[in-house]
Structure 1
Amino acid sequence: MPGFHVEKPHDLGQEAAVERVQYVLEKMKGRFEGQVKDMQQTWDGHVLTFAFRTMGVNIDGTMEVLEELVVVKGKLPFAAMLFKGQIEKSIGEELEKIIAKKS
């Protein structure tokens, strides 16, 4: 199955980046409530495993928060491959907002 892959560097350190990602994801749940169904999230240390259904398509993958990098990757059904570029762009933009260092 084809997939998507997004990487964003950060200078927060691993622990602070994990905390920020967890906090923002929790706040975002309500924002996508009408578009996302069957959302599942499981953290194992610094790795989030996720799965959800949107627009009739199942998407699953992982987000790994490293010391200086966040890596999001997952599988896309063939039906969603037309949107791969937009999906990766949207994930990248959201990650940028989450891990941008606040002065």
Structure 2
Amino acid sequence: MSKAVTVTIPHELGRAEARRRIDEGFGQLAGHLGGAPGALNKTWEGDVLRFSLTAMGQAISGVIDVADHAVKLEVLLPNFLAMIAGKVKGKLQKEGQVLLENKSKKPT
């Protein structure tokens, strides 16, 4: 049975900058799901990115919704990958935070 994984990542970049970073870095994020670069399809509909990729012979699809202060990522994992959904969720959360980190902030 397939399993949906949802991750919400807060950010302070604004919608346009968050969308730009996701667009530029999405190939790396997809790579963390095990997808080959040529196996990735993505389409923007406003501030919503719909994607699909093949990883380990399995079809993965999802949606990234970019808002002013958060990004919501929903990934539908097929049967085989659903068994490791917890690991996938943790990896997406971590890599998404790195991608959306505000590099202009100075440590306090």
TM-score (norm 2): 0.82
Query: Of Structure 1 and Structure 2, which has the larger fraction of its residues in helix?
Result: 1
Query: After the TM superposition, which residues 33-72 of structure 1 pair with which residues of structure 2 at under 5 Å, given as runs?
Result: 35-36=35-36, 38-72=39-73
Shift of 1:21: 1.3
Give 2:9's aligned amino acid: K
- Work out whether 1:76 is the aligned partner of 2:77: yes
Unaligned stretches of 5+ residues in structure 1: none
Residues 48 and 65 in structure 2, CA contact (< 8 A), matched pair in contact too: yes
- Cα distance in structure 2, aligned partners of 1:59 and 1:2: 10
The alpha carbon displacement at 1:85 in A equals: 0.5
For 1:87 and 1:57, how far apart are their aligned partners in 2?
14
Shift of 1:45: 1.3
Give the aligned length: 100
Unpaired segments of 5 or more residues in structure 2? none
Aligned equivalent of 1:87: 88
Cα drift, residue 9 of structure 1:
0.4
In 1, Cα distance between equivalents of 2:35 and 2:19: 25
Alignment RMSD, CA only? 2.0
